[in-house]
Amino acid sequence: MPKRSFAVIVAASILLVTFGAVTSFARDPMADGDATAPRSGDYEETLLAQSQSGLSDLVTLAQAGDSPTPQGQDHSSDQNGTAAQGSASEGQRQLRVNPLTGLVSDTEGSYTPLTGEERWKLYWKMNYFSVGAYFGPFFSALLLDQATGSPAEWGGGFAGYGRRVASRTASAILQGTFQAPVAYLLHEDVRYIASKQPGFKRRALHANVYSFLTYNNSGRPTLNIANLGGYYASTAVSTVWLPGHYKVLSYTLSNSTEQIGLTLPVNILQEFWPEVVRTFHRH
């Protein structure tokens, strides 16, 4: 099958899945297969109020515990611990996108599934309206493409790098557009699930494992089909605009696997992001 025909079929499949998910959102934007998810008018007002707060309290969020609980810290008995847990819960509902990783976190110990409305907001924030949506394509274009001079037809220098960044940005948007509706239909979470365990080794191992896993609406680990599939689908479609001749199957497998490999250090950074923020704040 010619590469253009194959890519068009993949693109059409993405559009069909997206249309089905958007139709479901339109019918019931708060529904997501979880009867325990908050659906009241009070919750909607609270979510709206939270979404209006700025980014100035990012450090407060990190210190309050919107991450795995630091070793030796106990939030179960004192008033400060209770306040910190409340701040973490509020921060999760604000759905902050990490400016470096482009990810949003929830934590094993206090996991709350996303509602349909939150998924819709996250789609736009993670793919368009955040710094993190564009930092990843800049980084992958530099590391995977510019450093290897691929595609060679685009040349080097800033002009070649600009073309590669544009290509990676378009591919990242396609990946997110595939991931969001498929995750919705399969009840998979699109956030990074941070570890509740103490210790660097355990958390680093957890970050590697959750490059391939996520949570379902019941808070159970499941294969992250939507995220992984999105890499392969978007890479296949990108062969439409890439210059030169590519074997779609081999290029899709190799390039997508490289991108998935990059999620390992990215997830480690996301796992330890609260400590990074605290360190930066102290200095």
DSSP per position, 181-196 = HHHHHHTB--SEEE--
CA 127, CA 175: separation in Å to the nearest integer?
Answer: 9
CA 61, CA 96: separation in Å to the nearest integer?
Answer: 10
Residue 13's pLDDT is 52
* pTM to 2 decimal places: 0.69
Q: Which residue has the higher pLDDT, 194 or 280?
A: 194
Indicate the domain borders of the chain. 3-37+101-282
Mean pLDDT of 175-188: 97
DSSP letter (8 states) at residue 104: -
pLDDT in tens, 209-229: 999 999 999 999 999 999 999
Residue 282's pLDDT is 79
CA 234, CA 173: separation in Å to the nearest integer?
Answer: 8
Using DSSP's 3-state secondary structure scheme, residue 198 falls into: coil
Mean pLDDT of 4-24: 49
pLDDT in tens, 25-51: 444 444 444 434 443 334 334 333 443
Residue 200 has pLDDT above 60, yes or no: yes
**Considering the chain, what is the average pLDDT of its residues?**
77
Confidence of residue 244 (pLDDT cuts 50, 70, 90): confident
Residue 166's pLDDT is 97
